[in-house]
Amino acid sequence: MKIRPLYDRIVVQRIEEKEAVRGGIIIPDSAKEKPQEGKVLAVGKGKLLEDGKVMPLDVQVGQRILFGKYSGNDIKLDGEEYLLMREDEVLGILEG
């Protein structure tokens, strides 16, 4: 199944951080924080302005982004978890 976000919304897949165990302590999944980094999978057409024009988004498919801890809405498609958020919830684009 595919999803195409509307207007200034984007679909993001969280990028899990690599787990490093130090001193033999294993942190259970329920105690871990959700990652705040993700990969953009789909973008909408752009932000609808008051005059009816559509301004294209800065975020593009394939970019890695940073977002706030409580940003977006969690959605589940075909057993996979994704985030659906507005472009203004993106804190930055990772380059390099």
Which CATH number characterizes residue 47's domain? 2.30.33.40
Summarised one tens digit per residue, pLDDT across range 1-28 is 688 999 999 999 998 766 555 566 666 6
Rounded-to-integer distance, Cα 51 and Cα 64, Å:
31
Whether 74 is covered by a domain: the verdict is yes
User: Counting Cβ atoms within 10 Å, is residue 40 exposed (0-12), middle (13-18) or buried (19+)?
Assistant: buried
This model's pTM is above 0.85: no
Summarised one tens digit per residue, pLDDT across range 37-62 is 999 999 999 998 999 899 999 999 99
Please state the rounded mean pLDDT for residues 70-92.
91
Please state the rounded mean pLDDT for residues 32-40.
78
Whether 23 is covered by a domain: the verdict is no
Number of structural domains (the chain) is: 1
Residue span of the structural domain in which 73 resides: 9-16+29-94
